[in-house]
Structure 1
Amino acid sequence: MSETDSETLLLGIDVGTTGTKAMLISSDGHVLGEGYCGYSLSRPAALVVEQDADEWWQAVVQSVRMCLSGNDNGRVRALSISAQGGSLLAIDSDDVPIAPARSWLDRRATAQVDRIVERFGATEFFQRTGWRVFGAYNCVQLLDMRENEPELFTRASAFLGTADFINLRLTGRRCADMNAAGITQLTNVLAGSWDSEILAFVGIEEARMPQLLRPGSILGTLTADAAAALGLGADVEVIAGGHDQYCAALGAGVVESGDVLVSTGTAWVVLGITATPIPDPAQNFGFGPHVTPDVWGEFGSLRNGGNCLDWARTVCSGRAGLDDYADVEQLVAEVAPGSQGLRFFPHFDGTSVPTWNDQAKGTMVGLELRHGAGEIYRAVMEGVCFELRRLLEAYESFGPTISRIRLLGGAANSAVWTRIIADVLGRPVEALNIAHSACLGAAMLAGVGSSARVWTDIEHACATVVPAARLVTPAADCDSYESMFTDYCRLADTVIHLYDDARGSVR
């Protein structure tokens, strides 16, 4: 690498659901600055969840300025955006938002799902878009807007996602990356284009949608206004990024067929990499192009993961956070595998594997007076891991054999929980300590995609930037988890069917 290359700086920006993070890295992989700015979700009515798009932009400005502080801004060559997927923003002909953005958490449009299924069929719609038809993404949101907010629907010059709006503010162009656009459920994922029949059904023309580009494409350079707001030069290039989970996978080096990312946050996300697109027959995994060339991703999730442990901490301590994570780890380490017969089923918001059931609820089975906080904590950790194994087995039932599992997030930083994961799965796992992997992945896209070609390709970027992982292999005596897993699956199938009506009441 030349001296000039070693002085190049890159920005990765992750615009999330409740805050924006920015990271400044050098071309040799060192993190030189970080910034964060939070914002709120508005819930003005039942099922309605909205955000102020201008707050997204102000958070980008503040977080970028924060991470640039003390660094030579003139050395920044390129930036890229990672973002939440599924949110919807209407703008006018002057590119100004004309209503709050609908969050991907908004559920007001659920009634439109049946109309989509009637028109296209659930299977055909999934195979076209890559995602199971769902009452929170742009297709159903637009149908609801047309029917219930017709003036807004008609007035809108264009409809954008989160990253699209930020890139518009940065460059003046209405563009979307093909990776994140898949979750709109308005694209033909295999063709790499907007789906004309779905757009017609919704009632909009392609001209009202942003131009689709591949992740890593150059969108342009900063406008004068954007450069002044961020404190950067107007020659800084903006590179198309992607959905936050896919960018996180890139930041973790999960880029080859057979790789799997397990992101252990509030929910746990599984992202498997395949050489070709493979629609999941059960529709539990969405599929789409990765942010890296020539490979695809299969996207599944456990609706609850880390939040199950937070729930247990609140229940066991009597108030949130009384038992810190170090205390929890110590208590769990003192309990033998199996939690003395206590089983936890993390279905607080339903479950997707082996069958989709939105009415299932969180459940504990086998609770005895002898059980204390340690058994409860361990049962929660084990239950989430059993559910993770079910999800990974569902993935391997149609996808490639898993060659490598990489962990990110809270559980990856827990020696006890990482050990349970490896033992329950019966596979080695690689834990990475990366605080903001999505930012790192976005910065990598900026470096590979910029005209400077800071790294020659994704492989070069991964070798330079992705930190070494901690390998955790299954313990020699982990075989006991095999019979426990069999019992867990048997009990889970029974527990799930206890909840039978729309209120999720017990039979």
Structure 2
Amino acid sequence: MASQDILIGIDAGTSVIKAVAFDLDGRQLAVASTPNTVRLGADGAAEQDLAGTWADTAATLRALGEQLPGLAERTAAIAATAQGDGTWLIDAAGEPVGPAMLWLDGRSAPQVRALRASPAAAPLAERSGTALNPSMQSSHLLWLRERQPERLARAATALHCKDWLYFRFTGERATSPCEGVFTFGAWRSRAYDDETLALLGLADLKRLLPPIVDGTRHHAPLTPQAAADCGLRAGTPVVLPIMDVPATVLGGGGVAFDREGRLRRVGCSILGSTGMHGWVSDRPEDIRPSAEAGYTMLMPLPGAQARLMSHMAATLNIDWLLALLTDALRLAGAAPPAKGELLQRLNAMVLEAAPAQAVFHPYIADNGERGPFVDGDARAQLTGFNTTLGLAGTARAVFEGICLAARDCYSALGPLPEEIRLSGGAARSPALRQLLASVTGRPVRVSHREECGAAGAAICAAVGIGLLPDVAAALPGWVDAQLGEELTPPDAQHSALYDDLFPVYQDLAARGRPAWQRLAGLRAAHRPTSPNTAQDSRA
């Protein structure tokens, strides 16, 4: 048998499924990807097909095997992280019970509003460490019980995306401590919690919850059928890692120790289509849950958890801006350049533009906002401009808005971290790197690792099969070696301006909420009836 010198990390995102091969020292060897499809409905639905997600994952692994000869024999272990939250129901036979409800699904917003307005909201946040929002499986189950009870009656297990893939790989029904606890548990006990379920009003659905499995201590063999589907070797160890966000925090440099071996307060910002910001701590006194917003996610380190705040749309705002520019060029009869070239020009324009010509709130996601406040009706707004605001000033306002949203999330978590490690698509943007540093007043260090989530999953696999004694042992080679040595410092003059602008940004957002609610009512009253449409959506 060939030497087993490869770890496979899978990151099954909302729009793209990636399979990445790493050597045992953390060097990326090859990557394969397959587009994913989201079915969006006018009622706020965002769904994916369970069987299709498995088929696409298997196809991605087969494609990876075409790049690396002998992959099946060389693979030491597999771990698949995936998009978080959401609800993936299966029956007693392991067959899907309808489509998956994704984290993007907004149909449970009324149930969330009612529960957040109830006396249960504060004790729920205190016990679970997480504020309820429409992305979570708990809110989906409340909606399903009210609107589609027959689906719940047929269901035997409620999984998340990575859990579904683990089930298809191994036949085991399980979830990780990360999602299991922040959704249905108590972060201090690191287990399911009956009081949390009672506060949610879901005690009767405890039967749907799979066992919680720590992937750094447990693995299961790849079944013969899954091996045939994926082009891999039956019996290959499969590890259930943490979900995509904490996996990216781990792979992207959000876990750092000082010389005495204590965890540092290092910020980690993941700016992809959505934005996630926070830090990791093993000190319980650092965790101050809020009923308004935020997650507490258990990390695969003794007593450690990530305190995180997410805003729904980050680079989605830039995609919207690029689409507008493309439409304008076509309207003018010009052929638009390739997206990469257009984005490069946009970055240069933003860096040259004067700061703070207008205030942009980047709430462009269809299901509103979830951090640092939860409001399914929130919508993007451009405020404070006049006739002198040109394209460059508008573009800069959009980029600034993404960074102001990041600062808003960090501020809700407590004191700003000493340094911010940046990963995700935005890490490649010079404008966003500089503006994030200036808006937060903190230096920004970029992770050059292209697939941080898959790397975080592969680290869990390495620990799970005993190649590494613990996660900390992986950091020098897998994480620290991928961090840029240079930090992007804040622009002192611009930082002073943004310090003054930030409370204005927050005040305008607070004042916008009654108007967003009224607009949502108008849209609902005049919404045309239309069938669900399938389209690509990026995580």
TM normalised by structure 1 equals: 0.89
State which drifts further: 162-171 or 195-204: 195-204
Q: Separation in 2 of the partners of 1:492 and 1:44?
A: 31
2:112 aligns to what?
A: 113
Q: Separation in 2 of the partners of 1:203 and 1:281?
A: 23
1:67 deviates by 1.4
Aligned-residue RMSD, C-alpha: 2.7
1:442 aligns to what?
A: 457
Q: Separation in 2 of the partners of 1:388 and 1:44?
A: 29
1:289 deviates by 0.9
Counterpart residue identity of residue 361, structure 2: F
1:383 aligns to what?
A: 401
1:11 aligns to what?
A: 8
Q: Closer, same or farther in 2 for the Cα pair 1:81/1:293, shift >3 Å? A: farther
1:479 aligns to what?
A: 493
Q: Separation in 2 of the partners of 1:498 and 1:159?
A: 36
Q: Separation in 2 of the partners of 1:14 and 1:312?
A: 27
1:182 deviates by 3.5
Counterpart residue identity of residue 156, structure 1: A
Q: Separation in 2 of the partners of 1:459 and 1:478?
A: 35
Number of residue equivalences = 493
Q: Closer, same or farther in 2 for the Cα pair 1:330/1:144, shift >3 Å? A: closer
Q: Separation in 1 of the partners of 2:118 and 2:291?
A: 20
Q: Separation in 1 of the partners of 2:112 and 2:505?
A: 31
Q: Closer, same or farther in 2 for the Cα pair 1:461/1:48, shift >3 Å? A: same
C-alpha contact 2:364 2:379 (8 A) present in aligned 1: yes
Matched, 1:190 2:206: no
TM normalised by structure 2 equals: 0.84
Matched, 1:46 2:43: yes
C-alpha contact 2:133 2:370 (8 A) present in aligned 1: no
C-alpha contact 2:81 2:247 (8 A) present in aligned 1: yes
Q: Separation in 2 of the partners of 1:484 and 1:148?
A: 45
Q: Closer, same or farther in 2 for the Cα pair 1:432/1:317, shift >3 Å? A: same
Q: Closer, same or farther in 2 for the Cα pair 1:203/1:145, shift >3 Å? A: farther
C-alpha contact 1:385 1:424 (8 A) present in aligned 2: yes
**Matched ranges for 1:203-352 at <5 A:** 204=204, 206-256=206-256, 257=263, 258-277=265-284, 278-281=287-290, 283-319=292-328, 324-336=342-354, 338-339=355-356, 341-348=357-364
C-alpha contact 2:132 2:291 (8 A) present in aligned 1: no
Q: Separation in 2 of the partners of 1:236 and 1:192?
A: 29
Counterpart residue identity of residue 30, structure 1: R
User: Mind listing any 5+ residue stretches in structure 1 that lack a counterpart?
Assistant: none
1:432 aligns to what?
A: 447
SS in 2 for 1:324: helix
C-alpha contact 2:278 2:410 (8 A) present in aligned 1: no
What is the aligned-residue identity percentage? 25
1:493 aligns to what?
A: 507
SS in 1 for 2:189: coil
Q: Closer, same or farther in 2 for the Cα pair 1:468/1:203, shift >3 Å? A: closer
1:37 aligns to what?
A: 34
SS in 2 for 1:132: coil
Q: Closer, same or farther in 2 for the Cα pair 1:170/1:319, shift >3 Å? A: farther
Q: Closer, same or farther in 2 for the Cα pair 1:77/1:496, shift >3 Å? A: same
Q: Closer, same or farther in 2 for the Cα pair 1:486/1:175, shift >3 Å? A: same
Matched, 1:405 2:420: yes
1:360 deviates by 4.5
Q: Separation in 1 of the partners of 2:139 and 2:437?
A: 39
1:32 deviates by 1.7
1:355 deviates by 5.6
After superposition, give the CA deviation of every residue in 1:417-462 in whole Å (9 maximum; x if it has no partner). 2122222222211012222211111111111111xx2223222212
After superposition, give the CA deviation of every residue in 1:444-489 in whole Å (9 maximum; x if it has no partner). 1111111xx22232222121122132532425x5234313431342
C-alpha contact 2:445 2:485 (8 A) present in aligned 1: yes
User: Mind listing any 5+ residue stretches in structure 2 that lack a counterpart?
Assistant: 257-262, 330-335, 522-539
